[in-house]
Structure 1
Amino acid sequence: MFILIVGGGKVGRYLIKEFSNKDYKVVLIEQDYDKAVKIEEKYDIEVICGDGSEQDVLEKAGIEECDILLAVTEDDQDNLVICQLAERKYNISRTFTTVNTPGNEKLFNWLGVNVAVSSASILAGLVEYDVTLSDLNVLLKKDQDQLRLTRVLVRENSSIVGQKVKDIELPLESVLVTILRGDNTIVPRGNTKIMGNDLILVLTKKELSGELVKIFNK
């Protein structure tokens, strides 16, 4: 089995340790060069240095041949982009991620990620024992019918203009899905900056819509 891991933080290293001593092929994508070198030396696995949300980096790591992709960066937004790219572009049927913000498990599942959990040990167990995805989805879809896509137009004089997505404190159980900027559709990542007149699409609960408007138009 070929497992592709994106993110060499604590969770990524835990998973590498779990799988590298077994008969699995493990490849890691890590953006930080120094961290990538240290992990490659310590665990004796192939490490690709680069941004795991970019297609050329994923292809260099062998995504077209992998059986499972694990997106475990420290940024939920990046994890979502990576999983969706793996599923829709490369037809990877088993994508897993851990989430850093409590409550995002349901949101990620609603957006199409196969399995999103908050514990690295649970994630390792799901991969190891091949839990039935249909059974997991029944559990993870609880309350998803309460979610809705909310649109927020950012005014030019908003104090949020120029801020990076990763620095914006969204309500729990809210995920920034897309930014519409003029004729362009932007997949938001941690370092994406908000601009005036951006139309923000956020997946959240109905009762949080007003709070989101206030956040993006302070």
Structure 2
Amino acid sequence: MKIVIVGNGAKVNFLADSLLKKGHKLVVINNDLDECEKLSQTKDVMVIHGEGSKKFILEDAGVFGFDLMIAVKSNDPDNLVICLLAKKILGIKRAFATVSNPRNVEVFKKLGINTAVSATFELSSIIEQMAFADQIIHYMPLEEEKLQLLEVVVDKNCKACGSQIMDLGLPLDSIIGCIVRGNNTIVPNGRTEIHEGDKLMIFTNKSSHEATLAALTGGVLS
């Protein structure tokens, strides 16, 4: 995917290393000149020195139509502005942000930001999963991150498409709570067959969400 990261510090290095290993094309916008120089010398990324919350900087970066915007600045309002500009001005459909104040997570989501999390490593994990399973459209940690809710739309390339739930090999602590199929809501059982276009509401423990996604898509997530 084509991904633009706005921010500085160790968070950017962590994300860049993780995403480059997956083969993604990255553009990094960083307002620290020293960090920009180090990034350009050590990583295969385009690095732009500037304040990423400024509209003209984002426009000049040439990231129109990119797949993902990732905002990891330490200031929550800046991250919100960056994500909103990405979606409304740059034509970037998905925007992700880290937040310093966990209370801002719901605010970001209500304003249309696809995912807002309070830990960078969680954001990296989500993005890696989406790079493999494009059908994930929502992710929400529940009960202090012990339980997670995944909302997944099944496409024709998913292993799950055309399979019965009992044949998927889901982890024992993962449950498909309901299926939204068109205008109908289905409470499934083991023999329920999953169709293309189904929206699955899945509850899973934090330790099992990668295995759950792999069982649905047929891929192996690292």
SS state at 1:136 partner: strand
1:9 touches 1:74 (CA, 8 Å); kept in 2?
A: no
Q: Does 1:136 align with 2:139?
A: yes
Compared with structure 1, are the counterparts of its residues 83 and 135 closer, same or farther at alpha carbon in structure 2 (3 Å cutoff)?
closer
1-structure distance, mates of 2:99, 2:138: 20
How much does 1:136 deviate?
Answer: 2.5
SS in 1 for 2:113: coil
Question: How far apart are 1:65 and its partner, in Å?
Answer: 3.5
- 1:92 Cα deviation (Å)? 1.3
SS of aligned partner of 1:122: helix
SS at match of 2:127: helix
Q: Which runs of 5+ in 1 are unaligned?
A: 140-218
Deviation at 1:52, TM superposition (A): 0.6
Q: How does 1:70-89 map to 2 (within 5 A)?
A: 70-89=70-89
TM-score by length of 2: 0.58
Equivalences for residues 169-180 of structure 1 within 5 A: none
CA 1:116/1:16 → structure 2, altered by over 3 Å: closer, same or farther?
same
Q: Which amino acid aligns with 1:27?
A: V
C-alpha separation between the residues in 2 aligned to 1:14 and 1:96?
15
Conserved? CA contact 1:48–1:60, under 8 Å: no
Report the Cα distance in structure 2 between the residues aligned to 1:17 and 1:107, rounded to whole angstroms.
Answer: 29
Q: Distance in 2 between matches of 1:74 and 1:105?
A: 14
Scaled by the length of structure 1, the TM-score of the pair is 0.59
* Alignment partners' CA distance in 2, 1:65 and 1:112: 17
User: 1:136 is aligned with what amino acid?
Assistant: Y
Cα-to-partner distance string for 1:151-188 (whole Å, 9 max, x where unaligned): xxxxxxxxxxxxxxxxxxxxxxxxxxxxxxxxxxxxxx
Which residue in 2 is equivalent to 1:41?
41
Match of residue 167 from structure 2? none
Relative contact order higher in (CA < 8 Å, ≥ 6 apart): 1
Give the superposition deviation at 1:105: 0.9
Offset at residue 11 of structure 1 (A) = 1.4
CA displacement at 1:102 relative to structure 2: 2.2
Q: Hey, what's the Cα distance between the residues in 1 that align with 2:49 and 2:40? A: 10
Q: State the alpha-carbon separation in 2 of the partners of residues 112 and 137 from structure 1.
A: 14
Indicate whether 1:108 and 2:111 are aligned. Answer: no
Partner of 2:19: 19
Q: Percent identical across equivalent pairs?
A: 38
Aligned mates of 1:135, 1:37 — CA distance in 2: 35
- Give the letter for the 2:15 counterpart: L
For 1:194-209, what aligned pairs fall within 5 Å after superposition? none
Aligned residues: 139
Deviation sequence 1:109-149 (CA, Å, 0-9, x none): 1122111011112111211111655443697xxxxxxxxxx
Relative distance call for 1:107 and 1:133 in structure 2 (3 A) is farther
For the aligned residues, what is the CA RMSD? 1.9
Closer, same or farther: CA 119–25 of 1 in aligned 2, 3 Å = same
Aligned to 1:126: 126
CA distance in 1, matches of 2:136, 2:109: 11
Distance 2:111 2:15 in 1: 24
Bigger proportion of residues as helix: 1
Aligned to 1:58: 58
Alpha carbons of 1:27 and 1:107: their partners in 2 closer, same or farther (altered >3 Å)? same
2:67–2:92 CA contact under 8 A, matched in 1:
yes
Determine if contact 1:5/1:69 at 8 Å carries over to the other structure. Answer: yes
Contact 1:4 1:70 in 2 (8 A): yes
Cα distance, 1:32 vs structure 2: 1.3
Look up the equivalent residue of 2:3 and give its one-letter code: I
